[in-house]
C-alpha cells in the first residue's frame, strides 16, 4: 500500500469523471514541513499557529513567530499556505496563560478569535510576524471560531492597521493578502450571504462544527462517537455550505478530521467539495480512492438520499457505491 501511495504522489487527484480535487495537508510545526513534499499535498490548507505556542514555555517572541512563518513559506515555495491565527482556549490550553476565571464550558468559552480580539496585542504581534514573513509573496490568513461576521470586520481593521504600520516603515509587504474564515460555529450558517461578502475563502472546521451541531463534546468519549458525521443531518449542513460558496464564487475547503478518512472524503466530494485538507499520511489513501471515483454518479445517489425523508444509511450507500463501481 505504501508503495502504491508513493507512486501516486505526483499525480493530481482527478476523479474518473474528470473532477480535480485539491488535496492539502494540515500542519503546525517545523517538523511537519518535510511532509509537504513527501505527501504530494498541493499546499498547506491549515497551518495551526497555536502549536508553536503550545509547545513553548512562554509566549513565543515576535521574531520567533516570524522565523517559523518564513520557514513555512520558504519551504512551501509556490504551494499555497493558509495560516490560521491563534486558536487557543477550549481544548488548547497554554500552561503559561489562563483566563481570569475558570470556565465551566471551555469549548463554548473564551477561545480563538474571541480571545485574540480581546487581547489585541497578541493578534497584532502575530499579524505583524505573518505580514513580514510573507513580504513579496502571497499571504493567506484564516480566522478560527468566527461566530458573527462583525468579528471578521474587527480582525480586518486590525490587520489593515498593521499593514499601514509596516508600510510606513517601508517594510516589504505581501503581494496579496487573502483573508478567510473557518466555518465551525453554527450561527454562521444563518449569515452566509454576509459571510460570503466578507471573506476571500472559507474552510469548514468539521471537528468543531460537528461538536456544536450535535451538542456533543468532541473530546468526551462518552458522547464523541455517539453521532455520525456521515448522517443526513450533518451532510445536509455541509451541502448547504457548498451551495452557498459556489453561488458566491468563493473558494471552499474542509479541514477537519473527516477529510482524512477515505469513506468520509468520498462523501465530501460526493456532496460537492473540491478541496479538502488533512493529515499528510491520509493523502495517499484518499487520493487512491478518488482516482477510482465517479463523483457525478455519487452526487446523484447522495442528492437523492439527502433529499428523501426517513432514515438513510449513508455508510451503506457509500460502501455499496464503492463496491458497485469497482
Ligand atoms: C476543526 O475544528 O475541524 C479544525 C480543523 O480545527 P481544530 O481541530 O484545530 O479545532
Ligand atoms: Mg476547530
**Closest to 92 measured CA to CA, from 42, 54, 145:** 54
For ligand 2, the distance from its centroid to the CA atom of residue 255, given in whole angstroms, is 9
Whether the CB of 49 sits within 6 Å of ligand 1: no
Question: What DSSP character marks residue 190?
Answer: G
The pLDDT of residue 156? 98
Residue 133 φ/ψ, nearest 5 degrees: -60, -30
The pLDDT of residue 261? 97
| pLDDT tens by residue, 146-159 | 999 999 999 999 99
Q: Which residues neighbour 102 within 8 Å (Cβ) at sequence distance 6 or greater?
A: none
- The closest residue, in CA terms, to atom 6 on ligand 1 is 205
For ligand 2, the distance from its centroid to the CA atom of residue 292, given in whole angstroms, is 30
**Closest to 252 measured CA to CA, from 277, 230, 287:** 277
The pLDDT of residue 170? 87
- pLDDT in tens for each of the 326 residues of the chain? 889 999 999 999 999 999 999 999 999 999 999 999 999 999 999 999 999 999 999 999 999 999 999 999 999 999 999 999 999 988 898 999 988 788 999 999 999 999 999 999 999 999 999 999 999 999 999 999 999 999 999 999 999 999 999 999 989 999 999 999 999 999 999 999 999 999 999 999 999 999 999 999 999 999 989 999 999 999 999 999 999 999 999 999 999 999 999 999 999 999 999 999 999 999 999 999 999 999 999 999 999 999 999 888 999 999 999 999 86
CA distance 125 to 2: 42
Cell 512563518 -> residue = 69
The pLDDT of residue 313? 92
| pLDDT tens by residue, 284-298 | 999 999 999 999 999
Whether the CB of 48 sits within 6 Å of ligand 1: yes
Which ligand lies nearest to the CA atom of residue 219 in the structure? 1
CA distance 262 to 54: 30
SS (H, E, C) 55-85: CCCCCCCHHHHHHHHHHHHHHHCCCCEEEEC
For ligand 1, the distance from its centroid to the CA atom of residue 183, given in whole angstroms, is 10
CA distance 272 to 264: 13
The interface predicted TM-score (ipTM) is: 0.99
Whether the CB of 207 sits within 6 Å of ligand 1: yes
Give the nearest ligand 1 atom to 211 CA.
2
For ligand 1, the distance from its centroid to the CA atom of residue 206, given in whole angstroms, is 7
Provide the angle, in degrees to the nearest 10, between the axes of the packed helices 314-324 and 262-270: 90
- The closest residue, in CA terms, to atom 4 on ligand 1 is 205
CA distance 42 to 23: 6
* Beta-sheet strands, E only, within the chain: 22-27, 44-48, 81-84, 138-143, 176-183, 201-204, 251-254, 275-278
**Closest to 305 measured CA to CA, from 235, 242, 238:** 235
Pocket of ligand 1, candidates 48, 213, 224, 276: which has the most ligand atoms within 8 Å of its Cβ, to mutate? 48
Which ligand lies nearest to the CA atom of residue 255 in the structure? 1
Residues β-bridged to residue 267: none
Alpha-carbon dihedral angle through residues 191, 196, 200, 204, given to the nearest 10 degrees? 50
Give the nearest ligand 1 atom to 209 CA.
2
Cell of 314: 449513508
Residue 254 φ/ψ, nearest 5 degrees: -135, 130
Residues β-bridged to residue 276: 23, 254
For ligand 1, the distance from its centroid to the CA atom of residue 53, given in whole angstroms, is 16
Cell of 115: 480571545
Amino acid at each position: 500500500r505504501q508503495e502504491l501511495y508513493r507512486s501516486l504522489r505526483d499525480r493530481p487527484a482527478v476523479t474518473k469523471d474528470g473532477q480535480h480535487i485539491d488535496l492539502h495537508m494540515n500542519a503546525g510545526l517545523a517538523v511537519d514541513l518535510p511532509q509537504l513534499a513527501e505527501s504530494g499535498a498541493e499546499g498547506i490548507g491549515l497551518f495551526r499557529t497555536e502549536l508553536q505556542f503550545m509547545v513553548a514555555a512562554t509566549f513565543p517572541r515576535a521574531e520567533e513567530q516570524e522565523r517559523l512563518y518564513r520557514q513555512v513559506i520558504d519551504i512551501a515555495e509556490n504551494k499555497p499556505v493558509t495560516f490560521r491565527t491563534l486558536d487557543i482556549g477550549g481544548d488548547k490550553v497554554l500552561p503559561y496563560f489562563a483566563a481570569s476565571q475558570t470556565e465551566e464550558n471551555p469549548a463554548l468559552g473564551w477561545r480563538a478569535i474571541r480571545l485574540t480580539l480581546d487581547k489585541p496585542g497578541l493578534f497584532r504581534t502575530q499579524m505583524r510576524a505573518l505580514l513580514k514573513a510573507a513580504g513579496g509573496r502571497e499571504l493567506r490568513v484564516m480566522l478560527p471560531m468566527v461566530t458573527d461576521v462583525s468579528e471578521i470586520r474587527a480582525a480586518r481593521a486590525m490587520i489593515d492597521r498593521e499593514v499601514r504600520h509596516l508600510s510606513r516603515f517601508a517594510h516589504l509587504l505581501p503581494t496579496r493578502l487573502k483573508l478567510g474564515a473557518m466555518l465551525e460555529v453554527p450561527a454562521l450558517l444563518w449569515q452566509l450571504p454576509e459571510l460570503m461578502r466578507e471573506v476571500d475563502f472559507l474552510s469548514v472546521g468539521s471537528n468543531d462544527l460537528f461538536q456544536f451541531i450535535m451538542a456533543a463534546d468532541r473530546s468526551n468519549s462518552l458522547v464523541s462517537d455517539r453521532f455520525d458525521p456521515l448522517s443526513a443531518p450533518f451532510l445536509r449542513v455541509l451541502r448547504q455550505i457548498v451551495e452557498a460558496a459556489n453561488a458566491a464564487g468563493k473558494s471552499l475547503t474542509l479541514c477537519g478530521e473527516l477529510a482524512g478518512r477515505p469513506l468520509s472524503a468520498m462523501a465530501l466530494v460526493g456532496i460537492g467539495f473540491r478541496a479538502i485538507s488533512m493529515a499528510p499520511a491520509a493523502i495517499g489513501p484518499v487520493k487512491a480512492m478518488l482516482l477510482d471515483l465517479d463523483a457525478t454518479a455519487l452526487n446523484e445517489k447522495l442528492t437523492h438520499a439527502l433529499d428523501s425523508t426517513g432514515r438513510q444509511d449513508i455508510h451503506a450507500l457509500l460502501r455499496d457505491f464503492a463496491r458497485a463501481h469497482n
